[in-house]
Amino acid sequence: MLLPKSNTPRWIIIIADITLSILALFVSYLIRFDLEANQDLIEEEWNILSKSLAFYIGIKLIVFYIFRIHKGLIRHTSTEDFARILKATVVCSFIFAVLGIFRLNYLDGFYFFPTSVLIVEFFFSTAFIVGSRFAIKLIYLESIKSRTSDEVVLIYGAGISGLITKRTIEKATDTAYRIIGFIDDNKRLSGNRLEGVTIYHTSDLEKVIQNNRVTQLIVAIQNPDKGQRKDVVELCLANNVTVQKVPSSKSWINGEFSAKQISKININDLLGRKPIVLDENKISSELNEQIILVTGAAGSIGSGMVRQIAKYGPSQLILLDQAESPLYDLQNELSIEFPGLNFEVVIGDIRSRERMFNVFSHFKPKFVFHAAAYKHVPLMEVNPSEAVLTNVLGTKNLVDLASENGVLKFVMISTDKAVNPTNVMGASKRIAEIYAQSFTSSKTKFITTRFGNVLGSNGSVIPLFQRQLDQGGPLTVTDERITRFFMTIPEACQLVLEAGTMGDGGEIFVFDMGESVRIIDLAEKMIQLSGMEVGKDIEIKITGLRPGEKLYEELLAKDENTLVTHHPQILRAKMRDEVNSQVANINELIDLFENQDNIEIVRKMKVIVPEFISNNSAFEQLDDSK
């Protein structure tokens, strides 16, 4: 290090500033005499100056102290320090000019300083003091660049956030980062330098990594293109480069970013896609000033729906769920995030028709978003009666009451597992879809939305993998071939709102889920994103398919076709006609609950959903007997 680690004493800085000011005054006189002066002229000017020099030093000391220009850390000089120095030198020059006029008129007939000297001294004094500080800052920055660093770092993003990240890292004394450059998607910035650091284009990333032995990339862009970010992160992972990110500026501490806030990028950032563009006006016109009921409001999707709907100013938002503690947490969150929102928390079970009757008759909702359901495939495979009771009877209660109470729209949130189901859970959701679609003559518009797995939802694979990582592994994958579609919670909720507002009743909307992802690839990337190596630090264990589990998910059944809508990420399924006896069959299925005979319950489900073929399940015997 060329500079001491401890701060320079303030008195040294004051002496240095006064010395530089005197030097500036001396240079000003040299310029006044064109660097040439005879002995007589020098003696004459010195006789005048000697009477003023003590006042000059005294005034500088007082003004510099008042403006506290000695208080800033020299190695971290900023534009704010420059402004403070400039103000101080302007005030000094003004005082010298006023004193000069006073001396001229009331004392010995001389100015305090000649006008030309006063002007030149102002510029040189400012330049010397500011220049000295920035010179020390540059020496400091070069000294920390040259030290041996554990991490060779690239910053993704050469904008304001990237620059703040660079400065913050350089100020941090407890990090061993050596920043060798920026990468940016803007080709026009390529080849330029930002505070002495080269900017490279994203297309040169792999070459920069290899040539400079980069060990870490920090994503500093606040709103990056998700597709571009995904490519950058995957390239880094392929080259064993750790990827971290700067948090949103909203989470900066007191508006300032700390190097300690840099965190590892997570799998959600890697799987996210381009932002969804919504018809905000259409959604707002439908939901604003309306009474809206959300079932399953405490769950992952339900609470996401609540947060989205709250933005559109409903007259009242009813949050229905049987989970007391999550509802309590959601209530507290809404009170803080949406202080003007009129909402009501209702604890209730959709399986109780009496309770649901009271909810509809009391609140009289005009929109219902139905997210309440049992969703875990292995659990429902061994508890078919509960799947029927909640997913079928619960939905039937809500659908019947919505039709009877003049609800305008009923949006049911379904799943891709309802398509060609191989498990009880998926079949129960398909039966619920069929029942809702049977109300074609109702004034209520019944709309179904289908999508795949939601990132970060309760019980999904990513939180499971994260827990397993925290415990040291292994990460468990049921089959190397298994694939799934993924969507973030905000994306799913946004598309549900858009589909709900565009629907005229009777439709099943399916969402563009992007490309399916191999679960084993997901596990490997999560291990890499955690800074560990597969097989060395964390193992991946293949456990075998669980009862009812598919190798891959579908969004449409074989007999269904899709029609485009005005939204590129939403398609409308053209459904095959269901037989008239289906509603009667559904009622018979619900009646079977009383006997708790799982075989008979599943047998009836297969009658209602002929494409329901069990997989890796005890109920495969029912398919063999067909």
Q: Is 187 a catalytic residue?
A: no
Q: In whole angstroms, how far apart are CA 88 and each of 64, 66, 67, 132, 400?
A: 6, 8, 6, 16, 78
DSSP annotation string for 223-286 = S--HHHHHHHHHHHHHTT-EEEEPPPGGGSBTTB--GGG-EE--HHHHH--SPPPP-HHHHHHH
Mapped onto helix, strand or coil, the DSSP state of residue 222 is coil
Between strands 242-245 and 263-264, the pairing is antiparallel
State the sign of the Cα–Cα–Cα–Cα dihedral 4, 10, 15, 17: positive
Comparing C-alpha atoms, which of 121, 138, 133 is closest to residue 81?
A: 133
Active-site residue identified among 417, 429, 445, 550: 417
Tell me which residue has tokens 């020099």: 53
Residues 172, 402: Cα–Cα separation, whole Å: 59
Mapped onto helix, strand or coil, the DSSP state of residue 103 is helix
Residues 61, 17: Cα–Cα separation, whole Å: 9
Tokens (6 digits) for 305: 């729906």
Mapped onto helix, strand or coil, the DSSP state of residue 619 is coil
Determine what percent of the chain falls in helix, strand and coil, rounding each to the nearest 5.
50, 15, 35
Contact assessment for residue 347 and residue 389, using Cβ atoms and an 8 Å cutoff = no
Question: Contacts for 333-340 with beta carbons within 8 Å, 24 or more apart?
Answer: 334/306, 334/310, 337/307, 337/310, 338/310
Neighbours of 27 (CB within 10 A): 17
Residues 362, 356: Cα–Cα separation, whole Å: 10
Residues 216, 626: Cα–Cα separation, whole Å: 59
Comparing C-alpha atoms, which of 478, 463, 562, 558 is closest to residue 520?
A: 478
Q: What is the Cα 69 distance to its own chain's centre?
A: 40
Residues labelled catalytic: 417
